[in-house]
Amino acid sequence: MKDVIVGIPIQWYIYLSVALFCIGVLGVLFRRNAIIIFMCVELMLNAVNLLMVAFSRYFGDTSGQVFVFFVMVVAAAEVAVGLAILMMIFRNTKSTDIDTLNRLKW
Amino acid sequence: MLLSQYLFFFLSFVAVLSALMVILDKNPVHSVLFLIVTFFAIAGHYLLLNAQFLAVTHIIVYAGAIMVLFLYVIMMLNLNKEIEPHKKNIPKVAAVISAGVLMMCLVALLKGAEVQMLPAARNSNIGLVDSLGKVLFKEYMLPFEISSVLFLAAMVGAVFLSKKEIH
Nearest to B99 among A8, A25, A83 (CB): A25
* CA B140/CA B134 separation, integer angstroms: 9
pLDDT for position A4: 61
**A104/B contact by beta carbon, under 8 A:** no
pLDDT at B64 exceeding the cut of 50: yes
pLDDT for position B46: 93
Supply the CATH classification number for the domain B1-111: 1.20.120.1200
Closest chain A residue to the Cα of B150, Cα to Cα: A77
| Whole-number average pLDDT of chain A | 87
pLDDT at A42 exceeding the cut of 90: yes
Phi, psi of A97 (to 5 degrees): -75, 125
Per the domain annotation, does A104 fall within a domain? no
CATH code: domain of residue A41: 1.10.287.3510
pLDDT at B88 exceeding the cut of 80: no
* CA B10/CA B122 separation, integer angstroms: 25
Classify residue B165 as exposed, middle or buried by CB count within 10 Å of its CB (0-12, 13-18, 19+): exposed
- In sign, the C-alpha dihedral spanning A17, A18, A21, A22 is negative
Contact A60 B139 (CB under 8 A): no
* CA A48/CA A89 separation, integer angstroms: 29
**B101/A contact by beta carbon, under 8 A:** no
Phi, psi of A33 (to 5 degrees): -85, 125
Task: Enumerate the β-bridge partners of residue A33.
Answer: A97
Task: List, as ranges, residues 26-55 from A with C-beta within 8 Å of B.
Answer: 26-27, 29-33, 35-36, 38-40, 42-43, 46, 49-50, 53-54
Average pLDDT over residues A33-54: 93
Average pLDDT over residues A10-16: 89
Low-confidence winner among A74-83, B85-94, B117-126 (lowest mean pLDDT): B117-126
B122-142 residue pLDDT tens: 666 777 888 888 888 999 999
B16-25 residue pLDDT tens: 999 999 999 8
Per the domain annotation, does A101 fall within a domain? no
pLDDT for position A106: 64
pLDDT for position B86: 65
**B65 vs chain A: nearest CA distance in angstroms?**
8
Average pLDDT over residues A29-48: 92
pLDDT for position A1: 46
Range of the domain at A20: 4-96
How does residue B153 score in pLDDT terms, banded at 50, 70 and 90? very high
Q: Model-level pTM?
A: 0.89
Nearest to A57 among B50, B99, B136 (CB): B50
What total of structural domains would you count in chain A? 1
| Whole-number average pLDDT of chain B | 86
- Chain B CB contacts of A89 under 8 Å are none
Interface test with A, best of B42, B53, B76 (most A CBs within 10 A): B42
Per the domain annotation, does A103 fall within a domain? no
B36-45 residue pLDDT tens: 999 999 999 9
- So what's the ipTM on this one? 0.90
Residue percentage of chain B with pLDDT more than 90: 47
**A89 vs chain B: nearest CA distance in angstroms?**
10
Average pLDDT over residues B85-102: 85
Residues A74 and A7: beta-carbon distance below 8 Å: no
Average pLDDT over residues B79-87: 64
